[in-house]
Structure 1
Amino acid sequence: MTTQTLPLTGYRILDLTMVTSGPVGTMMLADMGADVIKVEPLKNGELSRSMGTTYVNGENRMFLSQNRNKRSIRIDLKSQAGRETFLRLASEADVITENFRPGTVDRLGIDYEAVKAVNPRIVYASISAFGQTGPYAAQPANDPIVQALSGLMAMTGEPDRPPSRIGSPYPDFGAAALLAFAVSTALLHRERTGEGQQLDISLLNGAIFSCIPRDGETLATGAAPSRMGSGHPTFAPYRSYQGADGQYFFLACFTEKFWNALCDALDNSKLSEDDRFRTNALRCENREALDATLADIFHTQETAHWVNLFKERNVPSAPIQDLHQALTQDPQVAHNNTVIEMEHPTAGTVPMLSLPVNFHGTPARYQNAPPRLGEHTAEILSEFGFSDEECQELFARSIAAGMDDGEGNDHGI
């Protein structure tokens, strides 16, 4: 076990979040030392434990990928005794995180005001699709619904095809990063002032924020970005092209320096001497002619030839890899230690992604495998001052529970 003190060591987070945005955000905080306690329902636990179709020895891969360095406690929050138990934990916590539909924590009696009454210094962070208030607040939604409303989906895809969902749950991960940022900032504010606060994080705000600088272009022109496939509305050439072997690569000439380097590398008079291509504005105006000229050139050699040539000539380009190639074959990904492995007591060796920030002075810890459901219930209750008798009563009344052995037997205490 590491003895290193990390930036968030000593902070306790009661994590009520589920699925992706919240769990990824709290995992980032846990990687930097926070004691993240997953508060899970008695039956089946957090939703991602039973979502999708990919399992390893009964453990859900979705859950495993976003819940390392956390502990698990099972509490029946729908009961009065469960609510009282949670508030007793909250009275000694630093942060509460939740991503229920707005209004749920109020009905449960564990909302910000209820927690603030027992802990005025609490930082209470809520993630939702649209925000805690407003005309959409109560509507059911998830990542692709936000992609649809934010404008992301409308600008994604080929011009002659329907709008397309982004391949990864980008709004979810934007909200996760905003959660980690917001909680860290709020804790810093509390250190300076003694004041806790409520945080309202929405996937919609994060998704629209990620559209920078498309927002400036849209508001200035009054026209929304059109679908351009892999192309770009204000740069050319800036898109994917195909080599003679059928493989794709991306070429990004976003300055005149890179355009000139491309022309030099290709040594082609059709490009360098064509008045239609002399400036970026002209290249955008004559995009179809430019793409046709480049496509003819690129079909003469395999993709690897072009990528290697452009690397030598300082032209931004890269082969278009699938995710498996990126995770398992890319030398820069390997150098960055992007994929790590952790040992799980039932799932065995579990590969997962590392924290995407390299803290040179306080590197992230990867110490504890994702918790089994209820694995730490008794341990956590004891740490928060519950006596053995109180723990036994909570277990006997099914207010709290530890791990289930699969036969209905609870071994939490």
Structure 2
Amino acid sequence: MADNPVQPLSGYRVLDLTVMTAGPLGTMMLGDMGAEVIKIEELSAGELSRSMGTVYIGAQSVNFLSQNRNKRSVRLDLKSDDGRQAFLRMAAAADVVTENFRPGTMDRLGIGYDAVRAVNPRIVFASISAFGQDGPYAHLPANDPIVQALSGVMEMTGHPDSGAARVGTPMPDFNAAALLAFSVAAALLHRERTGQGQRLDLSLLGATIFSTVPRDGETLVTGKAPPRLGSGHPSFCPYRNFVSQDGIVFFLACFTEKFWSSLCKALERSDLAADPRSATNVARCANRDFVDAELQREFGRCGIDELLALFARFNVPAARVQDLAYALRHDPQVAHNKTLIEIEHPTVGKFEMLAFPVNFHGSPAQYRRPAPRLGQHTLEVLQDFGFDSAEIDRLLSMRVVAGMDQD
């Protein structure tokens, strides 16, 4: 885990109060880009995801390990007066504060945006919530699938006869995480140009609805919600899963007329290219049962290797449907892209995790630290922020802060 000081966000300090997935993943991205991310955790159990999920390496939750690298952990009692003052003292010397408490919680603790801005007018203060900081839903509890349900994403996912289905990955969380990293970086650039800090209000609901582009435009124009089509697509045909002769599922995507023409040539089916029911994409979408049935008959005559070779030769987009375990371990392009990195943790040893997905050719992501142990860096961080030994000892004796428990 080499340390390269010349990274896009080197020198910026982030106080991270977020928990679960959206916030921690977003701040991990900031850490991968060089920011100094300090994870503020509650005294007893620490961040919620430390004890979530069913997969652990030793005593460490993989849920936590996978989204908290490049951070230092500080245990701090934010409900106490001394804890609040310690946080504000740190915030005065920080660049960014991120939090995803229920709206209003930070203000009740006395460490909301106005309190932080009073000690640091240049602060970038990013709040993530399910629905936004105000409005009719702001007070309601929610998480990723609740937002999938409200946003329309769940209703458009699944098969017509099976009902709505949750998307397999935490898409709202990831969308909000990516927007957090982007927005914080943009706000820091704005501050460099103007000297002004600001508050950022991100919601999982807003990030998820934004991710429906271009389904949003189609819905607004037609007044109709996208239908559930399984692996199919409301605006393109053929664009769905098919099955080869040897029973392998693959996805075929003819999203331009050029690809459709190439597919017809590959299958030697000029009749489909000329048939009024399938000559254009609009016609194919109106007659998708006919088109899909004709293609499935053709595909059922060939094994998957033959089909994929044929599609590649004629430049037709297609791919075997792989599970995640196979994709991560065996797909040659995934391996070529260096998607996995290996990190060594002081208690669990070496483990693999996903690399930062953007290749900065001049300032690549650096993996300086594994996910921290609870309170691992409390003392050194307080020293970094100017607390002297007597102050630290007093806070420790009062249980306002805590270091790392001994195993």
What pairs up with 1:253-268 in 2 under 5 angstroms? 253-268=254-269
* 1:270 CA drift (Å): 4.7
Residue of structure 2 equivalent to 1:409: none
1:52 correspondence with 2:53: yes
CA contact (8 A) 1:72 1:375 kept: yes
Shift >2 Å, 4+ stretches: 1-4, 268-275
CA distance in 2, matches of 1:23, 1:2: 21
**Counterpart of 2:239?**
238
Q: Provide the secondary structure at the position in 2 that maps to 1:195.
A: coil
Residue matched to 1:63 = 64
Q: Secondary structure at the match of 1:96?
A: strand
SS at match of 1:72: strand
- Counterpart of 2:180 in structure 1: which amino acid? L
Partner deviation per Cα, 1:338-377 (whole Å, 9 max, x = no partner): 1111000111111111111111111110121111110000
Matched AA of 2:61: N
Q: Give the whole-Å Cα distance in 2 for the aligned partners of 1:3 and 1:252.
A: 41
Equivalent residue number for residue 142 of structure 1? 143
> Within 5 Å, which residues of 2 pair with 1:178-217?
178-217=179-218
* Residue deviations 1:100-143 (CA, integer Å, cap 9, x gap): 11111111111000101111111000000000010000100000
Counterparts of 2:313 and 2:359 in 1: how far apart (Å)? 28
Distance in 2 between residues matched to 1:184 and 1:266, nearest whole Å: 49
The code of the aligned residue for 2:38 comes to: I
> 1:157 offset after TM fit, Å?
0.2
1:321 aligns with 2:317: no
Partner of 1:20: 21
Q: Say whether the 8 Å CA contact 1:12–1:37 is kept in structure 2.
A: yes
- Find the residue that maps to 2:277 and give its secondary structure: helix
Residue identity opposite 2:34 in structure 1? G
Judge conservation of contact 1:304–1:319 (CA < 8 Å) in 2. no
Which amino acid counterpart does residue 266 of structure 2 have in structure 1? A
Find the residue that maps to 2:18 and give its secondary structure: coil
Aligned to 1:130: 131
1:354 equivalent to 2:355? Answer: yes
Matched AA of 2:35: A
Deviation at 1:61, TM superposition (A): 0.3
Sequence identity, in percent? 62
SS in structure 2 at match of 1:342: strand
SS where residue 163 of structure 1 aligns? Answer: coil
CA distance in 1, matches of 2:6, 2:121: 26
Shift of 1:269: 4.6
Rounded to whole Å, the distance in 2 between the matches of 1:29 and 1:52 is 24
The reply to whether residue 282 of structure 1 matches residue 307 of structure 2 is: no
Q: Which amino acid aligns with 1:159?
A: P
Structure 1 position 303, deviation (Å): 2.1
User: TM-score if structure 2 supplies the norm length?
Assistant: 0.98
Question: Do the aligned partners of 2:29 and 2:356 also contact (CA within 8 Å) in 1?
Answer: yes
Query: Aligned partners of 1:26 and 1:273: how far apart in 2?
Result: 53
Equivalences for 1:56-205 in 2 at 5 Å?
56-205=57-206
- SS of residue matched to 2:350: strand
Segments of 5+ residues of structure 1 without an aligned counterpart are 407-413
Counterpart CA distance in 2 for 1:361 and 1:286 is 50
Unmatched tracts of structure 2, length 5 or more: none
Matched, 1:405 2:393: no
Displacement, 1:275? 2.7
* Counterpart check, 1:337 vs 2:338: yes
With normalisation by structure 1, the TM-score equals 0.97
Once residues 118 and 84 of structure 1 are traced to their aligned partners in structure 2, the CA distance between those partners, rounded to angstroms, is 11
Q: Counterparts in 2 of 1:354-393, with a 5 A limit?
A: 354-393=355-394
Q: Distance in 1 between matches of 2:305 and 2:75?
A: 53
Deviations 1:63-113 (A, max 9, x none): 000011110000011111111111111111100000111111111111000
Task: Give the distance between the partners of 1:302 and 1:270, measured in 2 at CA.
Answer: 23
CA RMSD of aligned residues (A): 0.9
How many angstroms does 1:208 deviate by? 0.5
Q: Distance in 2 between matches of 1:33 and 1:150?
A: 33
2:297 is matched by which residue type in structure 1? D
Contact residue 394 and residue 400 of structure 1 kept, 8 A = yes
Q: Distance in 2 between matches of 1:275 and 1:126?
A: 54
Indicate the SS of the match to 1:206: helix
